[in-house]
Each structure stands twice: as structure tokens, then as C-alpha cells.
Chain A
């Protein structure tokens, strides 16, 4: 409390008690006292001078401590130029402290003007909207360009089997596909059971409980199996692709590949795209089986439908629904893999950028998967398939 009181001074007061940190004497000499150090910065910063220009000399004979924080405060109070003028003739200032004050003052003079922060204006919101729209358009163009580039590299590789990278491909297949089997199967099993319960609840009112089997069968073959598998991969694999390629970008590994005449698309993107292209249909099939198993469990345990009956009904479902569902898998796979890789290449130099683009990759790929699925559903319906 006392500290706070004693630090309220002002240049107009000329004769002051000895405990003050900063005293302007009548002869225009500024007396510094006590510790001018970081722990006391808060107290010291309450000091103010009405007019720094009147100070003619500096007396530091009672200064007990000084560090860069204290020196910074003096710069704030007096200005760098005055400090540079006063420090060489200051009384009672040790050589080391004089050197420090001079170093700080001259550094502050040499650093140039502070850039003016732009104030927020009303038009900025409008400009932001425009910028977002334009960047969305650019993203789309970039994606199409990337798709074309990848297809071009793929086409140029097709007649050259000696340049196919089997090891990378198989490694990616294991990471993105095989390792995802348990989670995809479990997820679909649970959703299958939920769909069956839902169907049983609604259909029981019409005495049509048996159609629960059809509901689960149609739902998983046409839509749910491939959709859930694709969403799972969008979360699991697109993010991994972005993070892997993004970290390589931060580490300048991508540049290192380029200057060695190696094509990052061929080395990094093609194996990832192909791995998903192979694995997503397989995972979708696993998902369909798991979903129907979940449905079957509910049917057998709580709807009194025997497993043989269940299989009998499933067999009557036309096979074209399975084909229609599975036909979407390769499309989803390419989109997920390309979005993941492209976002990785967009990373710019920092850990934060990696995080940003990983998020963006997951959001974009899930959005694209659901959008395409909806479009496909419309299309199939119009075609009467």
C-alpha cells in the first residue's frame, strides 16, 4: 500500500522525500533512486513526467538496481533521444549501467518507426465476405488443378510398371485400410442395430415387423455402409495425410524432393490415392456386412426372427442395390485422398498452419462425401435404379 502511495509523483513537485524513485529537482536534474528492475516495473510505471524536455541532467547516485526493464521505462519516460543525450553525463552512474542505458537508447533509435496498426472499419466485414468467396473459388480451382495433375502423373506412370511404388502403396493400404477395419466394423454394427430398433418401433404399429430386415438390408447396401466407412476414413485418413505432408512441407522435405528431381505427386500422392481407392470399397463391404450383422442380432434377439428367415429375406433383395452403394466408394476414396493431400501441400511454415489445414481437410472431405452421396441418391432415384 505504502509502495503505491509513494510512487505517485509528478514533475511539478520539486522538493520530495528521499524514498521516491524519480525526482525532478528545481535545477532540472532528474534523480533516480532505488531499484529500477522488472519486479518493481508495475510500481515504477505509474511515474510520469509532464514534460521530458525540461530535464537537463541525470543523477543516479542513489540508484541501487537497473535492468533492461528499468531502462525500457526510462526510454518511455524521457524518450530515447533524451536518454542518449543525458546518459553520458549522468552523475553517479557506473560504467556498466551507462553502457546499458546507451545500448538501449541507441537500439530504440535504430529500430525505426513503429508500424501503425490499421483500425477496423465498417467496410472490412464486407471485404471479408468478398475475400471468403474469392478464396472459396480459388480453392475449387486449386482442387481441380490438383486432380488434373494427379491424373496426369498417374497416366504417365501407367505404362512404366518399374516406377510403381509397391512398398509405399502396401504401407498406406495397411495404415488407412487394414488398421481401420475394427473401428469401421464396430461402428456399423452399432448403427445397424440402431436402425433395426428404429424400424421395429415404427413398423410394429402396422404389424410389419418383418420388414425391419428389408430396412436394414436396403439401408446398408445402398447408403449407410459406404457413407459411414467414407466418413470414418475422412476423419481418420484425410487428417493423417494432411498432417504427414504438412509436416514434411514445414521441414522443407517437399522442397528437398523437388530439387532432387523427384516428383512429390508421384512419391507421396499417388500411393495414398491408390491405397484409398483399393481399400475404401473393401472397407465399405466390411461396413455393409457389419451393419447387417447388427441388424440381424436385433432381429434374432428381440424380434423373434430366426437367422435362417433373416438370410432368406436378405437373399430376396436385388443385388443391384449393393452395386449401387459400392459404386460410390471409389469416388469418395479419390476425393478424401486428394483433399487430404492438397491441404497438406497448402501448409505454410508453422505448427499452427498444420493444425489449421488438418481441420480444414476433415471438414471438407466429410462435407464433400455427404454432398456427393446426396447427389448420387437423387441421380439414382431419377434413373429409377
Chain B
């Protein structure tokens, strides 16, 4: 943790306690506990179907959990009045897996929408701020006037990130942010994430499969397996955990390659 100067772990901005999610007979989470601390980048990994996206959806309130409690910024989303809830939702940004850009608006309008609706900026001001966010995510100015249908997969990801960042949220939720980006774009995304985190003390909850992103950006990694969080700790601790899936994940061919690459960059020996 870069911002942990006192030695105490920073306060948790998201607390998940005893979360259960069931769909009919099928149970995805059983008694899941999890903390996300202020200013950290938490990577959430797990096999396909282990409920990573479901966890994200229950934290941001798109899914009412079957049981359990989710507290975000000391407030419990499911018990709030609509007004309080909208207030809280302004402080989070979500990047959906497929981008979920509004297809009837241009890219700039997509980003400007929350600025106009929530921050009550004029259209001109909102467009200017939106253009800056767009530039931050590495899209050229000419992309601003395109419609989402005209964008490539990687550009959609960037535009959606710019929209998630529109209101300078406290917590950023990312669902597979680097999937579909080319390696150069993915590396730039990692750097961007670190810059933003350092500048705003942003907390990031990131569902990812990109091992390079895990190595480069994440302060802690939470492994979702057997319907709960198996382990949530620094990369070294997680990678050393005795579990078949974790060993396969971090010490399989791709895991080793990412570790070597990371070690080369940092000038250390791979773990």
C-alpha cells in the first residue's frame, strides 16, 4: 500500500459481510466476506463462473443479495432512500465489461451526460471536461464525435473508462478493463490507473484476468473460489497460497511469463 504511512491498514471503504447470492437452486456466493481499503487497487480473480461479476453487481447495488450486508463509504446501499442512494452512486464509477456506452449519444455526449445531470455544468463546460477525460484515456480528439457503433472494441473500453471517471469518483469498479485491448494499450491503461489512483487517492475494485495488470497495478489480490474469498492479500502471499487453482493460475505458463516480465521491469528475481 503506497499511501499507508502509519503502518495501520487504511479504513475499509467497502465492507462485504456474509454475502449470499442464489439464483434458484444455484448458489454463487455463500457467506462471503471482503474488505476493500481506501486508496488501494484490489484485483479480483477467479475461474469462469466463480461469481466475480455477480460480486461487483451486488456491491454497486444492481443486484439485491439473497443475504448479507454490503457497506460502501460507511453506508448500506440497500437501506438508503432513493435520494441518498443517488448521492452515493455519484461517488462511484463503473466500467462495464462491454462498455455499455449509450448508443444514441456520441462519445463526448456519453461522458458529458453525468456532468450535465449531476454536476449541473453547462453543455459547453461539460464538453470541455469530457474532452479532457477522453484525452486522459488516450483517445484522439476525432473520436469524440463518433457514435459507439463506429468504435473498435479497445476504443469502447477507453471511452467507457472516461465516462466512469466523469464525476471523479471515490471508488472505481472495473470489469475486465484490459480485455480486448492490445498489449500497448493495456500497459498504458495500467499506467493511467496508477496515475489516477495516486492523484485522487482513488480506490479501485477490478475484476481482471490480465496477469500483467495484476502484477503491475494491484496492491492486493482477492481470489474468488468455492463461493467465497479464498484469500485476499499481496501478490506474493496469494501466489504462495496452497490451493490447486491458485497454483495453476500463478504458476502456469502465462503466470510465470507475467512474473518474469514484472521482475525484468523491477530488476528483481521473479517470485
Binding site for B on A (CB under 8 A): 37-39, 41-42, 45, 66-69, 71-72, 75-76, 95-97, 99-100, 103-104, 107-108, 110-115, 348-353
For the complex, what is the distance from the CA of A349 to the CA of B122, rounded to whole Å?
30
Question: Given A348-B149, A349-B149, does the pair A100, B167 have CB atoms closer than 8 Å?
Answer: no
Q: Which residues of B contact A349 (CB under 8 A)?
A: 103, 149
For the complex, what is the distance from the CA of A103 to the CA of B197, rounded to whole Å?
12
B141 touches A113 (CB 8 A): yes
Q: Which residues of A contact B122 (CB under 8 A)?
A: 42
- 13 A-B residue contacts at CB 8 Å? A68-B165, A68-B168, A96-B200, A99-B199, A100-B198, A103-B192, A103-B195, A107-B137, A110-B138, A111-B134, A112-B141, A113-B141, A352-B104
B132 at the interface (CB under 8 A from A): yes
Q: Which residues of A contact B133 (CB under 8 A)?
A: 68, 72
Chain B positions 138 through 156: 1 when the CB is less than 8 Å from some CB of chain A, otherwise 0? 1111101101110000000
Q: Which residues of B contact A113 (CB under 8 A)?
A: 141
Question: In the assembled complex, how far is the CB of residue B5 from the closest CB belonging to chain A, in whole angstroms?
Answer: 13
B121 at the interface (CB under 8 A from A): yes
A69 touches B129 (CB 8 A): yes
A108 touches B132 (CB 8 A): yes
Question: In the assembled complex, how far is the CB of residue B43 from the closest CB belonging to chain A, in whole angstroms?
Answer: 21
B240 at the interface (CB under 8 A from A): no
Q: Which residues of A contact B131 (CB under 8 A)?
A: 72, 111, 114
Q: Which residues of B contact A103 (CB under 8 A)?
A: 136, 192, 195, 199
B119 touches A115 (CB 8 A): no
Question: In the assembled complex, how far is the CB of residue B117 from the closest CB belonging to chain A, in whole angstroms?
Answer: 13
Greatest chain B CB density within 10 A among A42, A68, A115 is at A68
Chain B positions 232 through 267: 1 when the CB is less than 8 Å from some CB of chain A, otherwise 0? 000000000000000000000000000000000000
Total B residues in contact with A, Cβ cutoff 8 Å: 36
Binding site for A on B (CB under 8 A): 103-104, 115, 119-122, 125, 128-129, 131-142, 144-145, 147-149, 165, 167-168, 192, 195-196, 198-200
Q: Which residue of A is nearest B118, CB measured?
A: A38
For the complex, what is the distance from the CA of A351 to the CA of B100, rounded to whole Å?
11
Question: In the assembled complex, how far is the CB of residue B80 from the closest CB belonging to chain A, in whole angstroms?
Answer: 21
B119 touches A350 (CB 8 A): no
Question: In the assembled complex, how far is the CB of residue B124 from the closest CB belonging to chain A, in whole angstroms?
Answer: 9
Q: Which residue of A is nearest B138, CB measured?
A: A107
B136 touches A104 (CB 8 A): yes
For the complex, what is the distance from the CA of A99 to the CA of B200, rounded to whole Å?
11
Contact of A100 among B120, B121, B149, B195 (CB under 8 A): B195
Q: Which residue of B is nearest A355, CB measured?
A: B104
B199 touches A97 (CB 8 A): yes
Question: In the assembled complex, how far is the CB of residue A92 from the closest CB belonging to chain B, in whole angstroms?
Answer: 16
Question: Given A68-B165, A352-B104, does the pair A41, B136 have CB atoms closer than 8 Å?
Answer: no
For the complex, what is the distance from the CA of A167 to the CA of B198, rounded to whole Å?
60
Greatest chain A CB density within 10 A among B136, B139, B147 is at B136
B149 touches A104 (CB 8 A): no
Question: In the assembled complex, how far is the CB of residue A119 from the closest CB belonging to chain B, in whole angstroms?
Answer: 15
For the complex, what is the distance from the CA of A38 to the CA of B120, rounded to whole Å?
10
B168 touches A104 (CB 8 A): no
Q: Which residues of B contact A72 (CB under 8 A)?
A: 128-129, 131-133
For the complex, what is the distance from the CA of A111 to the CA of B141, rounded to whole Å?
5
A104 touches B200 (CB 8 A): no
For the complex, what is the distance from the CA of A108 to the CA of B135, rounded to whole Å?
5
Q: Which residue of B is nearest A356, CB measured?
A: B104
Question: In the assembled complex, how far is the CB of residue A334 from the closest CB belonging to chain B, in whole angstroms?
Answer: 31
Question: In the assembled complex, how far is the CB of residue B220 from the closest CB belonging to chain A, in whole angstroms?
Answer: 20
For the complex, what is the distance from the CA of A37 to the CA of B168, rounded to whole Å?
9
B168 touches A38 (CB 8 A): yes
Q: Which residues of B contact A66 (CB under 8 A)?
A: 199
Given contact pairs A41-B125, A69-B119, enumerate 13 new A-B contacts (beta carbons under 8 Å).
A41-B121, A42-B120, A67-B168, A69-B129, A69-B168, A75-B132, A76-B128, A96-B200, A107-B138, A108-B132, A110-B138, A115-B142, A350-B103
